[in-house]
A and B are shown apart, each in its own frame.
Chain A
Amino acid sequence: MPPVDVDATVIANARLSRDYSVLSLAAPEVGRRTQPGQFVMVKPAGVTDPLLRRPFSVFEVLRNGTGDITGVSILNKRAGRSTRKLYELEPGDVVSCLGPLGLPFTPVLAPTEAWMVAGGVGLAPFATLAEALAASRTPTTLFYGARTADELFYLDFFSALGITIVLTTEDGSGGMKGRVTVPLEAALKSLGPAGAMVYACGPEPMLEAVAKLAARYNQPSQVSVERVMGCGLGGCYSCVVPVKHGDEEANLVRSCISGPVFDGAELVWE
């Protein structure tokens, strides 16, 4: 389905912490079209600062009490000017929202297990994927790492879907202390013959480690990358990543239209 551009009213902007918020947007046309792993390009409407939109994975597809789709939310982390402005939005403010864009995750079915590996704000694409996996009764685990326990969000949401949750924090304030790849590798070591599809989204070093671990244990992976992006539609060629198919030379491909989800085995790490 082609993307749509809507001036979406902010329904809520729930501050989860000093840096994180969940920005809920009244954009039913975007929500109805969204598949897990797709993204939207967002900026406050009618301003030239910021000029360009920023890419965000669709976090939730929002529904009302009777199950009708009412919009989407994004998981926003304050990192610069644009994300700070989004963090400060209030209900009633209007946001330009273009989407959904990009290639989605490919869900797997039982008996293969689905393992979602999230680092920090990289949790974003996994709420919708978790719902799809739960609907197909695929056994699913979320490996979720953050800086501190109070930056581990939406645990009840994933629990309610019947998903196994494995937590790590850098300071040990929640779950295991250390990197999320440690419990992931332990799980890969004891994985049964049905195998697992490893989904990953988070900081680049984590993505590289996860893709390499999956490959080492002969499991496929789907990795959602984040790049500085200008347009989201393939026009500007700013969001390229090196991708290698088989024995071909690596090519710089646009993560907005050939991604953001890539086969982890085809990404070239620099």
Chain B
Amino acid sequence: MAPDLSVKLGALTLPNPLIAASGCFGYGVEYEQVVDLSLLGGVVSKGLFMKERQGHPPPRIVETPAGMINAIGLQGIGVHRFVKEKLPLLRKAGARTFVNVCGTTLDEYVEVTKVLSQAEGVAAIELNISCPNIKEGGIQFGCSLNGTFDVVSAVRKATHLPVIPKLTPNVTDVASFARASEEAGADAVSLVNTFLAMAIDVETRRPKISNVMGGLSGPAIRPIAVRMVWECYQLVKIPIIGMGGITDARDAIEYMLAGATAVQIGTQNFVDPFVWSKVLDGITDYLTRHKIEKLSELIGAFDPTPTKTVHA
């Protein structure tokens, strides 16, 4: 019998733990031509404000060792156009749609959430309190424990939908932010957003992206993000969605062992838009090989006992 890949994020049951990360999958509908969206555990939309945003001028990305820095600047169509133009298509495709909600003020987070709560076909709210690339909003909440608590509480009161704050790694102790989120009523937390970074063209002495600084993602950040998931897992009881540099099934399983209930894939989807079925097959192989019936048994099953060094 095929192993059971389903996982529970609070009241939500996903058929598998693989979720497309915000900002890395357009509005989801772009990928319908290459992926059956209903086969994914979920799809997170691009970050949405009340209004449309143009984002930063190009160049917006630069490749760095085993990763990339981006400063897109949350270009987006705004929540109303999303509900009207994209959500019906996502519903039709059978996607479990998580919407990444942004705000420049606490009120805007609440307003965007209210619009989404009245729409049909939203599975959960992912609160973007961690984008490193915009001046106002986002990270000003995500870098303050009180700010995190306040915005999560306010959104929690405004919706029946699951609320999942997305945490920034650009803090000293990310686990305390997971705990503040839990205390404010979050149903789960997702981590990590990108690491604030920059790259200089030494020939011209100019920045490689127009915004000068941006967010680092990709395999380069994976060990740091795995550590952060493990720290959060030890401190909070709510489910954790782990992400950062997942490229294959082993990487996804590593996050789950560290305590993630589900995982998001972002940068690797740029590298390989067919990554989803490969990771799902790889997870099934792993479970079969280890004679595990339910994937959820792996959540937090990391054994921190040091192994004796074996020289292979």
- Chain A residues with CB under 8 Å of chain B are 2-3, 5, 43, 48-53, 82, 96, 98, 227-228, 230-231, 233-241, 251-252, 257, 270
A257 to B153, CA, bound (A): 39
Contact indicator B30/A51 (Cβ below 8 Å): no
- A-side contacts of B26, CB under 8 Å: 233-237
A/B pair count, beta carbons within 8 Å: 91
10 nearest A-B pairs in the assembled complex, by CB-CB distance = A234-B30, A231-B270, A2-B33, A238-B61, A238-B60, A230-B270, A234-B26, A228-B59, A235-B26, A237-B72
A80 → chain B closest CB, angstroms? 9
A172 to B24, CA, bound (A): 46
Residue of A nearest to B30 (CB): A234
A117 to B54, CA, bound (A): 31
Q: A51-B219, A52-B68, A52-B271 are in contact. Are A233 and B31 (CB under 8 A)?
A: yes
What are 26 A-B residue pairs whose CB atoms fall within 8 Å in the complex? A2-B33, A2-B34, A5-B272, A51-B63, A51-B66, A51-B218, A51-B219, A51-B271, A52-B63, A82-B63, A228-B58, A228-B60, A228-B61, A233-B31, A234-B26, A235-B25, A235-B26, A235-B30, A235-B269, A235-B270, A236-B24, A237-B23, A237-B55, A237-B75, A251-B54, A252-B75
Select A236's contact among B63, B67, B72, B272, beta carbons within 8 Å: B72
Residue of B nearest to A228 (CB): B59
- A-side contacts of B23, CB under 8 Å: 236-237
Contact indicator A238/B72 (Cβ below 8 Å): yes
Select B60's contact among A5, A48, A96, A237, beta carbons within 8 Å: A237
Q: A233-B34, A236-B70, A238-B61 are in contact. Are A5 and B273 (CB under 8 A)?
A: yes
A22 to B68, CA, bound (A): 28
A130 → chain B closest CB, angstroms? 28
Select B58's contact among A2, A43, A53, A240, beta carbons within 8 Å: A240
Select B68's contact among A51, A227, A240, beta carbons within 8 Å: A51
A5 to B273, CA, bound (A): 9
